[in-house]
Structure 1
């Protein structure tokens, strides 16, 4: 069994990058088909990856890992539903930063209440990172369209669900291996697949891009693993904020692969993120 000791300064940015890459692949993969059809492909792929990690990293399925893993899976399913409902309402150039900021700020608040402390570099890097989360998540022309109260509540709810998923994973015992990940994925898959079964008549005939959807789920599993590694070897205040910078990965991929233009606000956000992560790595 491999040791769980890893550098937070490497695994936290790795988790953020993997989440961003998963978003980049998952969007086009599900663009035409109903999102629940995508889940029917993605859920088994993600669970398979985590099961393959079991012999390598070990797993202890005692009460605490099962409980915290199940709670993280339920939060993940809620985040999935709320995010896609938010996407349907828009405008995402306003709502995406709200979701990302809430998903970063809530774990920070919980960690500080539980006695975590930041050094001088962290006290500068943390607010910089929160600013970068908003800048990178905002699309071109942010602030032009005013979201409805319902849309804002959905975005806040999605961010809260993402934050709870991270907090619950962080609470799982450090010697439980990948048990919380396997349990969480099994619960979230069961919930979303049950929803797909209930709504099968309304899913339409369009099929998702199977390979891209599966690849996105594999990357999501990798991101969860890297987050767990980082959280077990570092402060939740640092790890959660760095993880919330995941839109940066999607932006960079869109620029490199699709040659999309990155507007000035996002360029400033990427620069701010780089400085913030460097400072947080020193804590």
Structure 2
């Protein structure tokens, strides 16, 4: 139950962070948003160090660094994906992709799926088709580029979570600190190389920083959940995060949801639930 609650909290924090990050990336180049979000995340994790402790062993540093590199890619791809929109289609697609790889890793590590989870896997694939198949009149249709970015973002998020899970259980927040330091450095280097393409638009500072803080909270809750439960269950429960993104997108931006997409979202929720129960 503890792992379930932590995973649900992680899901909610990820959903809110994605919405703010995607919205902020509409005001300026995505790298400008990430340049604020990543250091804000690092600041939160440094503040948690005295509270939760950190052991910088070789495993914690290595897996943390790998997670940070994946996180930098995930930040850029995800925020760019959500900036293109529509959020209510692309966020669920990203989530389902991000759940698939951790499930595979969990199974390879000896975790077993029950009957419910076995039923949930094909439902998840069906949900991807329904959510991204293309809405009818009056609803936004995602472009091929946006869908490819969504799949790439999902894969990067999955790698980030898998790498975090591999870090030693007694390492505290060390993997998070190392990972965020690496992602900040990678983002800074990318921004330096692409500085002439970043434009002159100022990013939404408060929105970008809030996205970074929420992402850090989400990572912490996921790490704690994965340490107290199975990776397979925790990953798919965390993949419920589009619920927050879609709700905010509909409330704040007025994005419409077609009946096919509603069916896809319902199927996605059923799939994630079955995987968690399994």
- What is the TM-score with the length of structure 1 in the denominator? 0.83
Match of 1:124 in 2: 119
Tell me if 1:73 matches 2:64: no
Q: Bigger CA drift: 118-127 or 131-140?
A: 131-140
Q: CA deviation at 1:233?
A: 1.7
Distance in 2 separating the partners of 1:122 and 1:250: 25
After superposition, residues 224-243 of structure 1 pair within 5 angstroms as 224-243=219-238
Structure 2 gaps, min length 5: none
Tell me if 1:187 matches 2:182: yes
Structure 1 gaps, min length 5: 1-5
Tell me if 1:147 matches 2:161: no
Closer, same or farther in 2 for the Cα pair 1:33/1:154, shift >3 Å? Answer: closer
Count of residues paired in the alignment: 276
Match of 1:62 in 2: 57
Tell me if 1:24 matches 2:24: no
Preserved contact between residue 91 and residue 146 of structure 1 (Cα < 8 Å): no
Deviations 1:208-227 (A, max 9, x none): 11111111111111111111
Closer, same or farther in 2 for the Cα pair 1:136/1:10, shift >3 Å? Answer: farther
Closer, same or farther in 2 for the Cα pair 1:85/1:146, shift >3 Å? Answer: closer
Distance in 1 separating the partners of 2:226 and 2:128: 19
Tell me which of 175, 195, 216 is aligned to 1:221. 216
Match of 1:263 in 2: 258
Let me know the Cα RMSD of the aligned residues: 3.1
Distance in 2 separating the partners of 1:161 and 1:277: 19
Match of 1:3 in 2: none
Deviations 1:186-238 (A, max 9, x none): 10001101222233333222111111111111111111111112211222222
Distance in 2 separating the partners of 1:87 and 1:281: 26
Match of 1:158 in 2: 153
